[in-house]
Amino acid sequence: MSGASLVLSLVKALVVVLFLLNMSAISVWLDRRQSAMLQHRVGPNRAVVYLPAAAVRALLLLPAVLVAGALAVPMWRVVPGFELPRITQGIEAAILFAWFGLMLLAAHVRRNGADNAFEETVGSADPRSYFYGGLVAHLLAAGAIQLLPTSLTTTGDVSWSTGIAGSLAAAVVLGSGFYAGTKVPDGNVGIRLAGTLHALADAIKLIWKEDLRPRRADKLLYALAPLLAIFPALVTFAVIPMGSALCFQDVDRDRMLSFGDLTHLANVLDRSGACPPGHVSLSLAVADLNVGLLYIFAIAGTGIIGAAIAGWASDNKWALLGGLRATSQMVSYEVAMGLSITGMLMIVGAVHMQEIVEWQGRNAWGIFVQPVAFFLFLTALVAETKRVPFDQPEGESEIIAGYFLEYSGMKFGLFFLGEYAEFVFSSALLVTLFFGGYHLPFVDPDGIRIAFGSSTLYELKLTHLAVSLLHIGAFFGKTILMTWLQVFIRWTLPRFRYDQLMRLGWMKLLPIALVNVLVTGLVILAVEAGGPGVASILGTAGQVTQALVALLGVVGTVALVTWMLEPSKPQQFAVSTTARYTLEAGGVKPTKMGA
Amino acid sequence: MTQAAWTKPAPRTPIATKVIARPQRTPHVQSYVPEWLKGTALTMKHFFTNTKERMLGQKRDPVLENFDGGITTIEYPEERRPYPDRYRGLHRLTTRDDGSPRCVACLCCSTACPAQCIHIEPAEYPDGDERRGYERYPSVFVIDELRCVFCGFCVEACPCDAIRMDTGMHPAAYDSRDQFIYDQPILLSMVGRDGGRKTENPRHEPGDPTHPGVTREHESH
């Protein structure tokens, strides 16, 4: 292993740990916030940090400068013969930032009132029109650029038009950042970040809280248990690929990744996605193990130890009961979990996570291939992470808080963090196994291609960097979306009884998983016997599922945004003196009110 | 054997009951997945409806517009709900045209006060003042707002409309208890809901020809 690979491994591990810890802290907040939204409450949003106005302006401008730099600099770099997609990327980015910025400004005007004529114009329009206008502009730009002659976009070695497109996008971003900066009032400004600072406040509180220990607790094990609980949650993520492998040009021809190679990212890949000769690849999993899934099962199994030891070491009968419950539950559901995924492994023929994702990219997402296994696996995963409706190990109403009942301060915080890190990891695992990992429909390693069978409907070449960024964004986006969806399970389902839980695991999930394995094996044999005709039908069916995902994604997003932006005109009633005074003050949130 | 007298006689007609159907154990219910999806859809509906209201500043006004669900929270320091007209808030002492308190130190309010939070020291007007002998004035008028139970008896008891609780303000939290002791200047500085320090009820000064009661020659005092 070269020094560069070692450093990059550490960087990847740091990214994973930071992502898990931050996401678990934010998920704790999200969990509360979401429950509040379900119950017509506001939820935690009061944590606030006061910063001087200059610092706030700098914070607003910094991301804009970074994005602008990232957009403009690569655009000006000359890449012979590859200008067209770069123009498209630049102009599409400019359009995206323009309509999104206008929409945010419209939202700001609606909330706080207009300051000048420009804001009044922006705020007076229907917020949906920005969204529709943006969509139309995206499509028009994509169409118009295809019509441009190549001679216009390239003048010798200098591709001025790509640079201008990139600079346009950068200018829009910078302009938005500057305008947002001017909106910051003078003096100290309270920053709330939509309430997410509550996660930070909770952590600070937990760290400074008194660390109590029961008098007769086992000192060593009591201190060790929280670490044992959080460790597996963090290390299981190591084998999950966060994006497709990056290809670097092997400048010094030592067939290893060295620091000199890192600046020479391959420009384009061919359709297979394999690194061209003379290149070295960098996997975006922390540890690219070929036993991927087995490693996950092995390490996830050790998560039981933390809960069991915590229950034993606390010297409390409720904690011991909780530890016992956790142990038996996790052991039971590990069986169903392993068997439910077996069908998927039989089809793919590998346990290497990257290969599982690539198979899904070539054929169809796991949820279409193994729908029954998905529900079995989801159930087992929820039970495995001890979340509602399988949270009997905690069972507030029966055994108070279960195995971490005696813990306080940051030791309790570590249990909580570990639980939510496991939760975020379970979302990443679900995404990798059943939702195509980092794969997006119709995004090939060399660009976007909408094709059915042998006929190609639309094609747009993209650089290796753009595709890689799409993949990384897709993986983290899907994981966050999955985390958010999984929180709904908690707020929808009531807790099972313990015997129901055991019966479900051993007498329902296990037999169904076995039947699933049997049926999958029969289907695999039938397809093999069917020959190339059946295989081509299955290939087309796979493309149809990809199209279905893309269509559902686009239609769902458009419908959701349209509905969310629809202005509501609630009817006003003023029948009480309170309401009369409220009307006179312009609502319960007057523009300016004394202390 | 007849029924014992002390037992409750059996009802003649059976009590009408509403029978709630037990959920049927159909495969649809037992498979759990469709019902789970249904429940998730319901929670999502609530989530998105309320999230939408908070986007683009469309949160419903909790006082004026909140009639079919939605978030009813008033986020206090930023959002405030004005109190109704008859809300008994902090006390104020009303004034006459010349700015002096209307209070004549009759001690009716401090007598009526069940919490004994009003302390008044009456004083006579100095010699030569036209009000001397006609009425007294409070040299000290102190209300302990921490002892006050906001019953409003003092306002009812006052014959001069001199003490009122129509400021529409609640006692704010201060950092020490003595800040809740409101003395005469503070009470006089408070304004009513209309922003004024007076009341609409007319006040009769000595020598007022419209005075309905006994007229006295104030020169003789």
Give the Cα separation of A91 and A94 in Å (integer): 5
Distance (Å) from the alpha carbon of A126 to chain B's nearest alpha carbon: 11
* A111–B contact, CB cutoff 8 A: yes
pLDDT value, residue B26: 87
- Chain B touched by A38 (CB under 8 Å): yes
Taking alpha carbons only, the member of B120, B157, B147, B150 closest to residue B136 is: B120
Q: How far apart, in Å, are the Cα atoms of B4 and each of B1, B7, B8, B9, B14? A: 9, 6, 9, 9, 21
Q: Give the residue among A115, A124, A120, A123 at the shortest CA–CA distance from A185.
A: A115
Which residue from A minimizes the CA distance to B71? A40
Contacts of B65 in chain A (CB under 8 A): 570-573
pLDDT-derived band at B221 (thresholds 50, 70, 90) equals very low
B8 interfacial to chain A (CB closer than 8 Å)? no
B150-199 residue pLDDT tens = 999 999 999 889 999 988 888 777 788 888 899 999 999 999 888 888 88
Pairwise CB contact (< 8 Å): A588 & B71: no
Q: How many CB atoms lie within 10 A of CB A338?
A: 17
Do the Cβ atoms of B79 and A563 come within 8 Å?
no
CA distance B10 to B13: 9
Convert the pLDDT of each residue in A90-133 to its tens digit: 788 889 889 888 888 887 887 777 778 888 888 888 888 888 99
| Partner residue opposite A581 with nearest CB, options B40, B67, B82 | B82
Q: For A245, list phi and psi in degrees, rounded to 5.
A: -65, 140
B8: left (phi over 0), alpha (psi -120 to 50) or beta: beta
Q: What is the mean pLDDT of residues B185-214?
A: 79
Residues 6 or more apart whose Cβ sits within 8 Å of residue B24:
none
Predicted local distance difference test score (pLDDT) of residue A590: 56
Tell me the two tokens of residue A342: 């077996």
Q: Which of A403-407, B4-8, B20-24, B43-47 shows the lowest mean pLDDT across its residues?
A: B4-8
Predicted local confidence at residue B1, as pLDDT: 47
What is the Cα–Cα distance from B133 to B124, expressed in whole angstroms? 8
Angle between helices A317-348 and A510-530 (to 10 degrees): 10
Rounded Cα gap, residues A421 and A306, in angstroms: 14
Whether the CB of A491 is below 8 Å from some CB of chain B: the reply is yes
- Contact (CB, 8 A) for A159 and A79: yes
B73 contact residues in A (CB cutoff 8 A): 41-42
State the pLDDT at residue B57.
Answer: 65
* Integer Cα distance of A373 and A378 in angstroms: 8
How far apart (Å, rounded) are the C-alpha atoms in residues A169 and A184? 23
CA–CA gap between residue A420 and residue B43 (Å, rounded): 21
pLDDT, mean of residues B55-69: 73
A458 is written with which tokens?
């639309």
- Angstrom CA distances, A342 to A239, A346, A566, B11, B17, stand at 18, 6, 46, 64, 52
Residues of chain A under the 70 pLDDT cut: 1, 73-86, 148-162, 453, 590-595
Q: Which residues of B touch A489 (CB under 8 A)?
A: 36, 40
Inter-chain residue contact A107 with B50, CB threshold 8 Å: no
User: H or E stretch including A456?
Assistant: strand A455-461
Whether the predicted pLDDT of B115 surpasses 70: yes
Helices and strands of chain A, counted as H and E runs: 22, 7
Phi first, then psi: give them for residue B95, nearest 5 degrees: -120, 165
Look at the pTM and tell me if it is higher than 0.90: no
The reported pLDDT for the residue numbered B130 is 81
Amino acid at B79: E
Q: Which residues of chain A have a CB within 8 Å of the CB of B60?
A: 568, 570
Q: Given the structure tokens 């770069």, which residue do they identify?
A: A86
At A460, phi and psi to the nearest 5? -140, 115
Structural contact between residues A515 and A343, judged by C-beta atoms closer than 8 angstroms:
no
By Cβ distance, the residue of B55, B65, B86 closest to A570 is: B65
Alpha-carbon distance values, A12 to A203, B38, B184 (Å):
24, 40, 70
Q: Which residue matches tokens 């509550």?
A: A198
Whether A377 contacts A341, CB under 8 Å: yes
Do B82 and A489 make contact, defined as CB atoms within 8 angstroms? no
Using the Cβ of A215 and the Cβ atoms of chain B, whether some distance falls under 8 Å is answered with: no
Residues of chain A positioned with their CB less than 8 A from the CB of B36: 489, 492-493
Query: How close is the nearest chain B Cα to the Cα of A495, in Å?
Result: 13
- Going from the C-alpha of A208 to that of each of A192, A226, A310, A412, A413, the distances in angstroms are 22, 17, 21, 12, 11
What is the domain class of B83-201 according to CATH?
Answer: alpha beta
Indicate the SS3 state at residue A444: strand
φ, ψ at A372 (rounded to 5°): -65, -45
Tell me whether B17 touches chain A (CB under 8 Å).
Answer: no
Best B33, B61, B68 member to test A by mutation, with max A CBs in 10 Å, is B61
Q: Model ipTM?
A: 0.80
For chain A positions 120-139, those within 8 Å of chain B (CB to CB) are 127
Question: Could you read off the pLDDT of A161-207 as tens digits, one per residue?
Answer: 667 777 888 888 888 888 888 888 888 888 888 788 888 888 889 89
CA dihedral defined by A203, A35, A389, A483, rounded to 10 degrees?
Answer: -70
Whether A496 contacts chain B with CB within 8 A: no
Distance from CA of A120 to the nearest CA of B (A): 15
Contact A583 B80 (CB under 8 A): no
Where are the extended beta strands (E) located within A198-307? 246-249, 279-282
* Chain B residue whose CA is closest to A108: B56
Q: Which residue has the higher pLDDT, B140 or A149?
A: B140
Q: Which of A521-544 are b and which e, b meaning 16 or more Cβ less than 10 Å from the residue's Cβ?
A: eeeeeeeeeeeeeeeeeebeebbe
pLDDT of residue B107: 93
Contacts of A111 in chain B (CB under 8 A): 56-57
- The span from the CA of A326 to the CA of A392, in Å, is 8
Query: Cβ separation of B64 and A491 shorter than 8 Å?
Result: no
Sequence length of chain B is 221
Q: CA-to-CA distance for A512 and A505, rounded, in angstroms?
A: 10
Nearby residues of B203 by Cβ (< 8 Å), 6 or more positions away: B96, B97, B102, B160, B161
Element (H, E) at A579: helix A577-585
In angstroms, the separation between the Cα of residue B80 and the nearest Cα of chain A is: 5
Chain B residues closer than 8 Å to A560 by CB: 48
Residue-wise pLDDT for B17-32, tens only, equals 888 888 788 888 888 8
Report the pLDDT value the prediction gives residue A260, as an integer from 0 to 100: 76
Structural domain boundaries in chain B: 25-81, 83-201
Share of chain B above pLDDT 70, in %: 86
Distance CA(B147)–CA(B180), nearest Å, equals 9
Distance (Å) from the alpha carbon of A209 to chain B's nearest alpha carbon: 25
Token pair for B137:
């004035």
**Distance from C-alpha of A77 to C-alpha of A65, rounded to nearest angstrom:** 18
Q: Is B73 on the interface with A (CB under 8 A)?
A: yes
Write the secondary structure of A138-155 as one string of H (helix), E (strand) and C (coil).
Answer: HHHHHHHHHHCCHHHHCE
Q: Across chain B, what does the average pLDDT equal?
A: 83
